[in-house]
Amino acid sequence: MPVPHDIEAETELWDTFAESAFKDDAEPSFCWTQYAGHGPGPELLGNPRSVLEIGCGTGRALAFLARSGVEAHGVDLSPVMVKKCSERWADTGATFDCGEVLEWLADCQTTYDAVYSIFGAAWFTDPSRLFPLVAARLNPGGVFVFSQPPAIPGAYGPQGMYKGGFAGKAMFTYRYSYKPAVWERHLRRAGFTSVEADVVDAPTPGHIGTLLVRAWSAA
């Protein structure tokens, strides 16, 4: 049964996050993991001419790709974040849309060589609804890549998540957590022909790793 996402409330949550997370002096940067300089880089996307980031957040990864000559586009739920990104990264050529990812993808007519999510929409959206929409927006042979924290053992499926601490206004969303093999099954059901899912170890033993998933559409 789908969890009851309240898009208006979640928009307020991510607007609040945008005010604290976006730094005007930040530079373009691309990293799949939560540890700066650790793990693979944009090479996991192949050599795309066009990319779409779903849940693009601060836009730093898109700005990095745009400065490398890639046609880079992002979508995010937060109008505050999209405004900040559009202003900060205008000179890179990256473009940003505001929208709820499922509705935005359903209405989108453009296709891309790569779609990706870094701790973004792939973490916060029901994969049974999201993945077929992503598959439809990929060019033949295109790749979908996403990263997020791995599931806590025994805690699978949609998980409620408070943001901003455990006091004050109740601002929350839902994230989706599964074992790598389950992510692979979700992607194959959505029509992806080849899938790899694994956990990248943290740079410090015993620290939280990063789930990293790649899936390819038929050529």
Q: What is the mean pLDDT of residues 42-61?
A: 98
Q: What is the mean pLDDT of residues 152-169?
A: 86
Q: What is the mean pLDDT of residues 104-124?
A: 98
3-class DSSP assignment, residue 116: strand
Residue 167 above 60 pLDDT?
yes
Q: Identify the CATH class of 7-19+46-216.
A: alpha beta
Report the 10 Å Cβ neighbour count for 214. Answer: 21
Going by DSSP bridges, is the β-strand pair 71-76/50-54 parallel, antiparallel, or unpaired? Answer: parallel
Which range, of 27-41, 91-105, 163-177, averages the lowest pLDDT? 163-177
**Per-domain boundaries in the chain:** 7-19+46-216
Q: What pLDDT shows up at residue 201?
A: 97
Residue 7 above 90 pLDDT?
no
Q: What pLDDT shows up at residue 13?
A: 84
Q: What is the mean pLDDT of residues 43-68?
A: 98
Tell me the CA distances in angstroms from 92 to 27, 86, 96, 185, one per residue in order: 11, 10, 12, 37
Q: What is the mean pLDDT of residues 94-101?
A: 98
Mean residue pLDDT across the chain: 94
Tell me the CA distances in angstroms from 108 to 50, 52, 75, one per residue in order: 15, 11, 11
% of the chain beyond a pLDDT of 70 = 99
Look at 166 and 203; give whichever has higher pLDDT: 203
Q: Using 50, 70 and 90 to split pLDDT, how confident is the model at 140?
A: very high
Asked whether 32 and 212 are in contact (CB, 8 A), the reply is yes
Residue 164 above 80 pLDDT?
no
Q: Using 50, 70 and 90 to split pLDDT, how confident is the model at 209?
A: very high
Is this prediction's pTM over 0.85? yes
Q: What is the mean pLDDT of residues 47-68?
A: 98
Q: Under 8 Å CB-to-CB from 24, ≥6 apart: which residues?
A: 88
